[in-house]
Chains A and B, each alone.
Chain A
Amino acid sequence: MALCAFSFPAHVNQATSPDAQRSPSFSSHFTRGTNLLCPSQEKLHYVRKRPGGICASLSERGPEYHSQRPPTPLLDTINYPIHMKNLSTKELKQLADELRSDVIFNVSRTGGHLGSSLGVVELTVALHYVFNAPQDKILWDVGHQSYPHKILTGRRDKMHTIRQTNGLSGFTKRSESEFDCFGTGHSSTTISAGLGMAVGRDLKGRNNNVVAVIGDGAMTAGQAYEAMNNAGYLDSDMIVILNDNKQVSLPTANLDGPIPPVGALSSALSRLQSNRPLRELREVAKGVTKQIGGPMHELAAKVDEYARGMIGGSGSTLFEELGLYYIGPVDGHNIDDLVAILKEVKSTKTTGPVLIHVVTEKGRGYPYAEKAADKYHGVAKFDPATGKQFKSKAPTQSYTTYFAEALIAEAEVDKDIVAIHAAMGGGTGLNLFLRRFPTRCFDVGIAEQHAVTFAAGLACEGIKPFCTIYSSFLQRAYDQVVHDVDLQKLPVRFAMDRAGLVGADGPTHCGSFDVTFMACLPNMVVMAPSDEAELFHMVATAAAIDDRPSCFRYPRGNGIGVQLPTRNKGIPIEVGKGRILLEGERVALLGYGTAVQSCLGAASLMESHGLSLTVADARFCKPLDRALIRSLAKSHEILITVEEGSIGGFGSHVAQFMALDGLLDGKTKWRPLVLPDRYIEHGSPTDQLAEAGLTPSHIAATVFNILGQTREALEIMS
């Protein structure tokens, strides 16, 4: 594939003149003559950097990228990494370009994580070229940058299904492919897992390589240090690649612009990158080493080590002190450098743990991503030529936004309210809070454990902290919740976003366990809003509960469209009081959280069959509204508890109470509806809910089944 037919010289000239108003048909000329054109010509489109946004929108200046998928002749020949082994460096570069455009066009069709994948294209190519997956283990931390890896390891034809029901996972997954050696989704786990794989290899007497790729954001988590500390001690051969793109928080911007790095580690890393003033001293040290060299290997090595320690800047000594040999910084977009270094490290026999500090740029290669403040970290479907995302207009806003507004309204009135999050300013909506109260919003980096204990410390001083962490990420901080907050009865408020099933992110981000693990704690108040107005009231309730910890959970997705309280200020609810939404007979549905909406849907389905159900919103799992449960149990034959959580949650607490209170000794039947005892795979929210069996139809069918009307049950389900 070395043929470059210059069949369109006129067009080439047009491309090189600046400010050419390029029409979309121009790029299609390239795509039509597929095999004849040298793909390097396409670089002319986007290699020039334009100055950032003046008033004129980008589309007025003409599209800065292809609108059609460009031909990828080299990538078409690569199905597995083994097909890459005979490529020359020039071909590797071409492969990287084709891979990049492939990623962009795939993500433009499906949505997903774009910026991070673009930043590691060259690194992925270099890794697969030098190492022999799957015998050599390559681990990708978090996994959202693994799109190029998936394309190169036999899943290119399935990329159009990524993050969809029955499609590829958006993160690495062991059951999907043998090239994904470890499942990721939460961050900072790869060094630990990689060390485990390295030690396992040593115990079994094998000799493959283990490479763990981790980002600078994930480095802010404690587990990365625990792992490096252990790696340094055990001294097993492994390679850690620190992918440094200076984006420590997500999204990598707040509402007003790029986020400056959070924490001291980032400045240490950037000092590593720019060591200029000490360079001369280093030259001297090198000269001394050279002189000493020759037969005195050990002494020379010692001198070199001291020299490096002296002048390597405080950052490299951090890794060196932990016992990893530091190499870098390295330009992460230069394939020659990467291949040279990786080959060298691979060929060295006994290295112990090595850390290669690679500097990349998030969103590299796609002009719109490079310029965007959030570097197109996570995008919906978009148009590749203009970078415009297709965001559907919903009539209501997300629960996340409502939460942020509610918290702002509370904080206006109460000066002691502060918000804490762990590197998720955008995902938790706290960027809005940050903009309104810049000194009262704390981003601690990816450190949930620290966030919880930090909140506990704040609460000791009379501050009212709202710890806003995704339900599934709070799992990390469970001991801190139990020991530091609940045991001491400190009034920390936990706002658990993404509770229940979360859609495309899949089981790694699914918040199914929070009712279970929060409601079993003795001092915790556990509540869940059934709609956005209730969310406002519960934020106010949590703000008012000042003598014990409290938590509330809300799902991903948009509100249902109820009226919001005036000026976004909720009214505290009486703790331990539920409410009845629909009065009926014989069967009562007691819902917890947004499952109440599914219950209402089921009730309306049953109306057409002549049955009227009672629907109640429990609001509190702890303390339970005992009077409500007693009255429901006494006046109905059947009580069904519904929640979008695992076993051991709301339903179990109701059952426990009913059993102890003697309510199950008569003719009352109790049935629970919970998430099934298996992980629900990623897909669209409706598909997931159907898979879990919690749709209104499923609830109605359950009622029919209990009533003995199995025919109607089947009818509803089909």
Chain B
Amino acid sequence: MTRISQCHFNHFCVLSDFKSVGLRAADALPEKVKMVEVGPRDGLQNEKTVVPTETKIKLINMLSESGLAVIEATSFVSPKWVPQMADQTEVMKGISKKPGVSYPVLTPNLKGFQAAVGAGASEVAIFGAASELFSKKNINCSVEESLQRFDDIMKAAKEAAVPVRGYVSCVVGCPYEGKVAPEKVAHVAKRLYSMGCYEISLGDTIGVGTPGSMTEMLEAVSKEVPLSALAVHCHDTYGQALANILVALQMGVSVVDSSVAGLGGCPYAQGASGNVATEDVVYMLHGLGIQTGVDLQKLMDAGAFICRTLNRKTSSKVAQATCKL
């Protein structure tokens, strides 16, 4: 056997050093994480109070100044279903679009897509579900039917060179079906990715996931969709969001959705929290030495502003602690 050279020996010492303290904890984390801010859309859509257009615009403008690279601005869904997003066109046209920042909007169908592009949108998002029952109850059709509807949007988006982000909801649990099979999630994610979505955001819609179910689900999905094209959208309804995000990062995911001040309750558990707070995620990432490009103070200012307007307390623990020290 050849003598192990000194540098290889040093390498093994370092490796075994990591292994002796738990390699998992020392798993290479991404150097950078892209934050996708969903507060103005997913957040405000699920708030009880309907927010005036100028407030939404001011919120988005403040968020634009905080260093966030992606801010989901609004939803081109019929105001009949989602009255909170009725002012979609005014919001889209009213915001000051910062260069380098992307402002995707939800487009559930071709009509919504056309209205979005007409209002100046340059990126859109579509929403699938991993649960049949959730799909039927939420958008009144099966998962397969919803994916077919998206074909029209994908074609139109390709022609207009508009990138499309895909969401899969109920990735670890459904309010109607209970547990959701990881294979089903992988199937829907793969379909959306093959259709042309550049990124698939995997949503724990009712926040029931834990590092256990999150790992299992990501292992299945990452067999079908490259990790670099995956994002996690964790709800904090059971307080598990940050732990779930951490395991996702350890598995190689580097895009995280969150909502300033944790805006947006859970519609399936009255009064319970919903989206994870962007401030709390950024605090964790910065503590891990991961770059986000986000200025936490400016982010908290935006959160404080919207909470004052909504007359509600922030759901962000970082914001609560920082204001009172």
A and B are interacting partners? no
B: which residues have CB within 8 A of A?
none
